[in-house]
């Protein structure tokens, strides 16, 4: 099984599927279709039914039931795109077998390594196989590891008909990394009673709650006057922007928060004396705190306008997704099912909140309850990303066991 997972994963990550947050198309990049058609063919070759690709780039398929017992229809989803944060072009995966517990040299020319000091969790994987990129790109385990795991699980079930299962639905989606992954996903047509995204991190992760999320864009109109004659006339939009940023609570930044603590995160600041623009993401698991954060940033913008005695700053806030806990708790048995599956295959469940969002969050609000399970990856979205092959194998076994448990 490990060889099948590894071969698939190494093939997938070498296909550039990076999404584009500034694109107005869907999917946001045409190159995502390069993987779409490969997955379509592979699903057919494995022997799944109803394999379809639509104009939006969704790949769906069905593993037909092999039992007369009444069972729920379960879905498994993973996303094809990689994050805009770092290049996904010309990914060169490296396989380090029998990890010895020391620093892993990702790129000797760049003097770049996976340091045990910086990433002490590496010690958990001594003797196992670790896969990295070359230090010049991300790896793409988020979420091509999930795709490889779902695909391998489906192939295993086809080859082992003695394992009884109900109808299983599979979907691979584009544009998750830019928050648009299920914009056009047809939940009703997909036909699952509930589903799991295979898009988590280290082994054992099981998540059914995530951030409430919003984006905030602040535009500032300044007034540029020759600096030698600017007294009483100039309004420096860049300075106003920095004033706004420093009025946000310092202890509510991503680098200073963990667990259930929310944050304001500045993602972009650009401009001139005449015009400047700030981009933030706002996150909190608690809905009341989330709403209060939006009020807080709005109050800051109003305060700046009051200070300058004119409306120099405008604010646009857009909600992106909400905490799926509200939709999962009424059907919490699907979390318990995943937890039991992990225990039965020798994985210690680590139930924790997602400090981010998944397609599952939005799908849960679209009528498809959808917790998230681990892929085995670490350090997503950057050059230090890696995935552990043995964790990937465990993820496959968890998927299979979830399906087995659903027939009992």
- The confidence band for 276, taking pLDDT boundaries of 50, 70 and 90, is very high
> How large is the average pLDDT for residues 320-332?
94
- Name the percent of the chain in helix, strand, coil, to the closest 5: 35, 25, 40
2-210+323-405 adopts what CATH topology? Aminopeptidase (3.40.630)
- The confidence band for 290, taking pLDDT boundaries of 50, 70 and 90, is very high
Residue 176 annotated to the active site: yes
Residue 16 annotated to the active site: no
Q: What is the pLDDT of residue 33?
A: 97
Residues near 154 by beta carbon (within 8 Å), at least 6 away in sequence: 43, 46, 48, 61, 63, 168, 170
Write down the domain spans for the chain.
Answer: 2-210+323-405, 212-321
DSSP state of 295: H
Task: Tell me the sheet residues that pair with 90.
Answer: none
pLDDT at 358 over 90: no
Options 16, 155, 176, 284, the catalytic residue: 176
Residues near 142 by beta carbon (within 8 Å), at least 6 away in sequence: 82, 83, 177, 199, 375, 377, 380, 381, 385
2-210+323-405 with 212-321: one CATH topology?
no
CA dihedral 137, 201, 155, 405 (to 10 degrees): -170
- The confidence band for 11, taking pLDDT boundaries of 50, 70 and 90, is very high
Options 40, 81, 143, 205, the catalytic residue: 81
Domain covering 212-321 assigned CATH 3.90.1150.10 in the classification: no
Rounded CA separation 334/196 (Å): 9
- The confidence band for 179, taking pLDDT boundaries of 50, 70 and 90, is confident
Measured CA distances, 314 to 270, 360, 370 (Å): 15, 32, 36
Rounded CA separation 173/75 (Å): 13
Beta strands in 115-167 (DSSP E): 130-132
> How large is the average pLDDT for residues 351-360?
87
Count of CB atoms within 10 A of residue 151's CB? 26
Rounded CA separation 224/109 (Å): 46
Q: What is the pLDDT of residue 21?
A: 87
Determine which helix (DSSP H) or strand (DSSP E) holds 338, and give its type and residue range: helix 333-344
- The confidence band for 295, taking pLDDT boundaries of 50, 70 and 90, is very high
pLDDT in tens, 183-224: 999 999 999 999 999 999 999 999 999 999 999 999 999 999
pLDDT in tens, 33-65: 999 999 999 999 999 999 999 999 999 999 999
Q: What is the pLDDT of residue 268?
A: 93
pLDDT at 118 over 90: yes
pLDDT in tens, 153-166: 999 999 999 999 99
């Amino acid at each position: 099984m490990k060889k099948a997972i590894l071969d698939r994963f190494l093939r997938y990550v070498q296909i550039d599927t990076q999404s584009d947050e500034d694109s107005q198309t869907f999917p946001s990049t045409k190159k995502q279709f390069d993987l779409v058609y490969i997955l379509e063919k592979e699903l057919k070759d494995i022997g799944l039914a109803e394999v379809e690709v639509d104009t939006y780039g969704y790949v769906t398929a069905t593993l037909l039931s092999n039992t007369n017992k009444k069972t729920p229809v379960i879905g498994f989803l993973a996303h094809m795109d990689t994050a805009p944060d770092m290049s996904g072009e010309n990914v060169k995966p490296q396989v380090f077998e029998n990890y010895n517990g020391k620093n892993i040299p990702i790129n000797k020319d760049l003097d770049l390594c996976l340091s045990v000091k910086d990433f002490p969790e590496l010690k958990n994987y001594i003797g196992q196989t670790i896969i990295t990129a070359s230090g010049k790109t991300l790896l793409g385990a988020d979420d091509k590891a999930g795709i490889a795991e779902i695909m391998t699980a489906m192939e295993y079930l086809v080859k082992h008909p003695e394992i009884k299962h109900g109808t299983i639905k599979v979907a691979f989606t584009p544009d998750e990394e830019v928050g648009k992954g299920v914009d056009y996903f047809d939940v009703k047509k997909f036909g699952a009673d509930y589903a799991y995204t295979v898009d988590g991190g280290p082994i054992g992760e099981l998540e059914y709650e995530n951030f409430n999320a919003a984006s905030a864009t602040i535009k500032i109109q300044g007034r540029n006057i020759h600096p030698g004659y600017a007294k009483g006339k100039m309004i420096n939009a860049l300075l106003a922007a920095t004033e706004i940023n420093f009025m946000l609570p310092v202890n509510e930044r991503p680098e200073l928060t963990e667990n259930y603590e929310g944050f304001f995160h500045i993602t972009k600041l650009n401009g001139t004396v005449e015009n400047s623009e700030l981009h933030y993401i706002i996150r909190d698991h608690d809905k009341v705190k989330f709403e209060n954060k939006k009020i807080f940033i709005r109050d800051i913008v109003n305060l700046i306008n009051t200070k300058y005695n004119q409306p120099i700053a405008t604010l646009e806030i857009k909600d992106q997704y909400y905490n799926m806990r509200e939709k999962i708790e009424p059907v919490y048995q699907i979390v318990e099912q995943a937890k039991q599956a992990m225990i039965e295959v020798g994985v210690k469940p680590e139930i924790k909140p997602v400090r981010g969002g998944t397609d599952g969050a939005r799908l849960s609000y679209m009528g498809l309850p959808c917790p998230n399970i681990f892929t085995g990856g670490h350090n997503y979205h950057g050059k230090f990303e890696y995935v552990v092959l043995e964790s990937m194998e465990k993820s496959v076994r968890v998927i299979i066991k979830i399906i087995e448990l659903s027939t009992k």
